[in-house]
A and B are shown apart, each in its own frame.
Chain A
Amino acid sequence: MNQLKLSLKSAVYILLGGLSLLALSSMAEEKKASAPPPQTNGGIDQESSFPKIASGKWSGAFLADGQPDVQGFWSNTIANHNNFTDPQGGIPGSGRAPKTKREQRAPSRVSDPANGEVPFQTWALEKVKEFQAHFHDPVEQQWVEPLARCAPGGIPKSFYWHGYEIRQYPNYVLFYFNSGTRLIHLDKKPHLPDNIKLWNGDSRGHWEGNTLVVDVGNHNGKALFGRTGEFISENGHIQERFIFSPDGKRYNYEAVLTDPTVYTRPFTVTIPARRWTEKDQPNGWHFEVGQAKHAGKQVILESEERICAENNAAFGMGASTQ
Chain B
Amino acid sequence: MIVFSVDRIHPTSRVRQWFALTAFVSMALIAFNATAKDDIPRIKGKPDFSGIWQTTSAANYDLEPHSNRKDAPPGPGIVEGNVIPYLPKALEQKKKNFENRASADPATKGWTLGTPRGIYYPEPFQLLQRAQDLTVLFQFGHSVRTIHTNGTQHPEDPNDWWLGDSRGHWEGDTLVVDVRHFNDKTWLDGAGNFHSDALHVVERWKFLDKNTIEYKATLEDPQVFSRPFDISVILHRHREKNFQLIEDYRFTLDYDQYYPPKPDSK
Contacts and interface: CB of A to CB of B under 8 A. Distances in A.
Interface stretch (A21-29, A82-90, A149-157, A208-216): A149-157
A149 B257 CA distance: 14
Interface string B98-114: 00000000000111100
B145 interface: yes
A192 B246 contact: yes
B128 A169 contact: yes
B146 A174 contact: no
Q: Interface residue tally of chain A, by bracket? A: 35 or more
Contacts of B126: 183
B159 A304 contact: yes
Nearest to A223: B259
A232 to B, nearest CB: 7
Interface stretch (B13-21, B54-62, B84-92, B134-142): B134-142
A221 B262 CA distance: 11
Interface stretch (A194-202, A240-248, A277-285): A194-202
Contact of B112 (A141, A262, A302, A309): A309
A190 B251 CA distance: 27
Interface in A272-322: 290, 292-296, 300, 302-307, 309-310, 312
Contacts of A220: 256
Contact of B249 (A190, A199, A305): A199
Interface stretch (A39-47, A50-58, A106-114, A123-131): A123-131
Interface in B217-266: 242, 244-247, 249, 251-252, 254-256, 258-264
B259 A174 contact: no
Given A146-B252, A167-B135, A222-B256, A292 B261 contact: no
Contacts of A81: none
A142 interface: yes
A146 B255 contact: yes
A224 B252 contact: no
A227 interface: no
B259 A222 contact: yes
A92 interface: no
B129 interface: yes
Contact of A174 (B135, B151, B163, B256): B135
30 contacts: A124-B261, A128-B261, A144-B255, A146-B252, A149-B252, A152-B142, A152-B252, A169-B129, A169-B130, A174-B128, A183-B137, A183-B245, A189-B242, A189-B244, A192-B246, A196-B246, A200-B247, A220-B256, A223-B259, A224-B259, A231-B259, A231-B261, A292-B148, A296-B151, A302-B148, A304-B159, A305-B161, A306-B144, A309-B251, A312-B254
Given A221-B260, A293-B152, A293-B156, 16 more contacts: A124-B263, A146-B252, A146-B255, A149-B255, A174-B137, A200-B142, A220-B256, A231-B261, A232-B260, A294-B153, A304-B159, A306-B144, A307-B161, A309-B112, A309-B251, A312-B255
